[in-house]
């Protein structure tokens, strides 16, 4: 039996009322139902159990590793010098290996101050360690065939032609980042549920129908993605 792995990350600080958590949970449930015992579902909560931000020793080790081009985690371990780098690599390596092992990466990514949450950014900084996401033999991106499903939520509206379109540093950032990591364009799926604050912000009350449609569309897209792989 061929197994397949879903790495499911949530980064919203919201609990019961988090839209991204509800949507990623919906995708994960459908994915588990589809794959049964062949599916391995790994969940990581970057808000409740935050990844420490990178420190100076991460950078010193990263620079020495990066100078060698693509390299496997074992080769990075052999480059570690001193307690600081040991600590940084011990924090980084499990996250890198978890990502390398994932067939599907599911990311709950709320907008905080026009971009992603600090919790998600800390994870991105750690896993994007120089050289370890490329094949040492071919130089090819290891994430090329990884399916990435981003669930992007935000309180306001940032669609084409809206007054705040230019303030969206969430979706364009995530697209640029995963594209830069080598994820193939056809494997990168960004599902947006916006105007989530319309439910409780009187200034957005008139936009409630649009918010409801955005949420329904996001759910339907996630159901289709879960059914497809």
Binding site for ligand FMN (CB under 6 A): 12, 14, 18-21, 110-114, 153-156, 196-197
| Cβ-based neighbour number of residue 21 at 10 Å | 21
What 3-state DSSP class applies to 88? helix
- The smaller minimum CB distance to ligand FMN, of residues 47 and 132, is found at 47
The nearest distance, CB 156 to ligand FMN, in angstroms, is: 3
Radius of gyration of the chain (CA): 19
% helix / strand / coil in the chain, to the nearest 5? 50, 15, 35
Using the minimum distance from each CB to ligand FMN, give the nearer residue, 70 or 218: 218
Of 99 and 193, which CB lies nearer to ligand FMN in the complex structure? 193
Q: Which among 151, 117, 118, 116 has a CA at the least distance from the CA of 28? A: 151
- Name the phi and psi angles at 217, rounded to 5: -65, -40
* Minimum CB distance to ligand FMN smaller for 20 or for 104: 20
Q: Which one, 137 or 206, has the nearer CB to ligand FMN? A: 206
Tell me the closest approach of the beta carbon of residue 195 to ligand FMN, in angstroms: 8
CB of residue 139 vs ligand FMN: minimum separation in angstroms?
A: 37
Return the SS3 of 104: strand
CA distance 53 to 63: 17
CB of 18 to ligand FMN, least distance (A): 4
**Shortest Å distance, C-beta 157 to ligand FMN:** 8
State which residue, 175 or 197, has the beta carbon closest to ligand FMN: 197
Angle at alpha carbon of residue 45, lines to 222 and 185, rounded to 5° = 40
Task: Please give the Cα distance from 122 to 118 (Å, whole number).
Answer: 6
Query: Are 107 and 17 a contacting pair, CB within 8 Å?
Result: no
* Least distance in angstroms from the C-beta of 112 to ligand FMN: 4
């Amino acid at each position: 039996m061929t197994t397949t792995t879903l790495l499911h990350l949530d980064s919203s600080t919201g609990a019961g009322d988090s839209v991204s958590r509800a949507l990623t949970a919906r995708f994960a449930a459908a994915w588990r139902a589809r794959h049964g015992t062949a599916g391995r579902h790994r969940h990581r909560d970057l808000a409740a159990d935050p990844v420490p931000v990178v420190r100076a020793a991460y950078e010193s080790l990263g620079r020495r590793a990066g100078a060698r081009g693509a390299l496997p985690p074992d080769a990075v371990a052999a480059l570690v010098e001193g307690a600081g780098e040991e600590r940084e690599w011990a924090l980084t390596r499990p996250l890198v290996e978890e990502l390398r092992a994932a067939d599907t990466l599911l990311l709950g990514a709320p907008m905080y101050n026009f971009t992603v949450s600090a919790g998600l950014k800390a994870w991105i900084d750690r896993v994007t360690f120089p050289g370890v996401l490329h094949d040492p033999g071919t130089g090819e991106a290891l994430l090329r065939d990884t399916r990435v499903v981003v669930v992007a939520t935000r309180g306001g509206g940032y669609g084409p032609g809206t007054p705040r379109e230019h303030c969206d540093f969430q979706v364009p950032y995530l697209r640029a980042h995963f594209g830069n990591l080598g994820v193939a364009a056809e494997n990168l799926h960004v599902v947006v549920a916006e105007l989530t604050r319309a439910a409780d912000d009187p200034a957005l009350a008139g936009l409630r129908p649009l918010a409801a449609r955005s949420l329904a569309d996001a759910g339907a897209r996630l159901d289709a993605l879960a059914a497809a792989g």
